[in-house]
Every structure is written in structure tokens, then in C-alpha cells.
């Protein structure tokens, strides 16, 4: 019984840390301006969010284990997933900014490639931005 209480505390602490990490990423995402992106901040954001799907999976898995342990401690415990709903609300906003940056990069890369091809086809020197 004491072992289960320890596991519950550990899982709660892990999920609190994961949620804090996600909140930090969300705050970073609010500072990104897709139309006027600073390369360094976008690169930092993209690097920081590489593990986004992993932390979501870990949060969800920890929550499943936590509910199972709480049911072992108290069979009348009400299984709770409201924290997952809250997590997903923040997660989707961060994922959306990540997706917008990737789309912007893709369009920017395509535009740059088209510019280079047009200049080469006309025998013009390449313009550096």
C-alpha cells in the first residue's frame, strides 16, 4: 500500500513537470510572429518542440498509471482525465504554431528555389537576400 502511494506521488510530480514544460513552450509560441519571424527564436522553438508528441504520450501514459494506482488505493475513486483535456488544449496550440513555422519554411524554401531557377534561366547573377 505504501509502495503505491509513493508511485502516485512520483507520477503526479512527473505530470506536473511535463505540464510546466508544455506551458513554457506555449508561452514561447505566443512570442512567434509567423509573418515576421526572427530566425533564432523560431529555431529555438522548433528545437524545443521536437519532443512534443513524446511528452504528450508520456503525460497520457502517466495519467493512466496514476488512475490505476488511485483505484487500487480506493476502489471508489473517480477516474479523472480532465487534466488530459487541459493538456491537449495547450498542446494543440503549440503544435499549431510548430506546423505554421514548418509551412512558412516550406513556402520560403520553394520561393527561394524558384527565384534561383529564374535567375539561372535568364543568365542573371543570383540575388542574395
Question: How many other CB atoms sit within 10 Å of the CB of residue 56?
Answer: 19
At residue 112 the predicted structure's pLDDT band, cuts being 50, 70 and 90, is low
By percentage, how much of the chain surpasses pLDDT 90?
68
The tens digit of pLDDT for each residue in 69-99 reads: 999 999 999 999 999 999 999 999 999 999 9
Q: What is the pLDDT of residue 13?
A: 98
Distance CA 22, CA 28 (A): 10
Three-point CA angle 54, 80, 65, nearest 5°: 50
Which residue, chain included where needed, has cell 483505484? 71
Domain covering 2-121 assigned CATH 1.20.58 in the classification: yes
CA distance 127 to 41: 25
The model's pTM is: 0.79
pLDDT at 129: 39
Amino acid at each position: 500500500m505504501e509502495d503505491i502511494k509513493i508511485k502516485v506521488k512520483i507520477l503526479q510530480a512527473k505530470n506536473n513537470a511535463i505540464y510546466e514544460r508544455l506551458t513554457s513552450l506555449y508561452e514561447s509560441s505566443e512570442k512567434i510572429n509567423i509573418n515576421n519571424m526572427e530566425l533564432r527564436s523560431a529555431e529555438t522553438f522548433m528545437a524545443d518542440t521536437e519532443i512534443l508528441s513524446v511528452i504528450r504520450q508520456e503525460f497520457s501514459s502517466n495519467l493512466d498509471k496514476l488512475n490505476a494506482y488511485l483505484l487500487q488505493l480506493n476502489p471508489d475513486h473517480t477516474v479523472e482525465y480532465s487534466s488530459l483535456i487541459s493538456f491537449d488544449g495547450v498542446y494543440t496550440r503549440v503544435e499549431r504554431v510548430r506546423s505554421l513555422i514548418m509551412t512558412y519554411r516550406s513556402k520560403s524554401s520553394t520561393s527561394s528555389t524558384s527565384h534561383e531557377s529564374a535567375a539561372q534561366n535568364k543568365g542573371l547573377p543570383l540575388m542574395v537576400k
